[in-house]
Structures are given as structure tokens and as C-alpha cells.
Homo-oligomer: A and B are copies of this chain.
Amino acid sequence: MPSSVTFVNILAVEPDQQQALIELLNEGTERVISKRPGFISVTILASLDRRRVINVTRWESADNVKATQADPEAAELAARTAEIATPDPGIYVVAGEHTR
């Protein structure tokens, strides 16, 4: 098991809801996710065609992800997210990194 994992949620959204989704994710990250044990960082990516948002969260371990998914505040945030977007979540590991 790798020591650090990346939780990626690929969210499909109607273009007119993309901004609301971004605000919900930023607010939820600030208020809930960033306070969770094992949280390292999050990057929220918005597609230029406005049909997708990708939430990339780094955690110290897969156990931190599981514990967060079971947390009531995080579950409530996930439920609010699912009201305006279609989530496609998964756990990933970094398989390559290159910089200029």
C-alpha cells in the first residue's frame, strides 16, 4: 500500500451550475475537508467548456479517505455536491511526476 494517496472526483455538471459547484467545493474544503486527519492538499480544476469540475485531494493514506467518507459533515457535503453534479470518485496513486 502506498503511503500517500490521491482522491479524485470527476464531476459532470450543467454549464450554468459550474460556478455554484466550484463555490460549494471551495467552501466545503475550507470548512470540512481541510480539517480532516491526513489532509495534505486539494486542487479544484474547472473545465473551460464548463461541463466538468475535477477535485483532486491528496491524503496521507487511503484510511484517511475512508474515515472522511464516513464522517457526517463530509457525507453531507458529498450529498449537496451530488444535488448539482454527477460524481465519479476514485482513489489514485502518483505514477509519475515531471517538471520543467
Set of chain B residues within 8 Å of A91, measured between Cβ atoms: 47-48
Q: Is there contact, CB below 8 Å, between B44 and A94?
A: yes
Q: Work out how many copies of this chain go into the complex.
A: 2
A93 to B43, CA, bound (A): 10
Which residue, A22, A39, A42, A92, has most C-beta atoms of chain B within 10 A? Answer: A92
Q: Taking A46-B93, A94-B43 as contacts, is the C-beta distance between A8 and B54 under 8 angstroms? A: yes
Majority secondary structure of chain A interface residues (helix, strand, loop or mixed): strand
Give A74-97 interface residues, CB cut-off 8 Å to B. 90-97
Q: Is there contact, CB below 8 Å, between B95 and A53?
A: yes
A52 to B22, CA, bound (A): 24
Asked if A45 is at the interface of the complex by the 8 Å CB criterion, the answer is yes
* Candidates B34, B93, B97; contact of A100 at CB < 8 Å: B34
Which residues of A approach B to under 8 Å, CB–CB? 5-6, 8, 10, 22, 25-26, 29-30, 33-34, 39-49, 52-54, 56, 62, 90-100
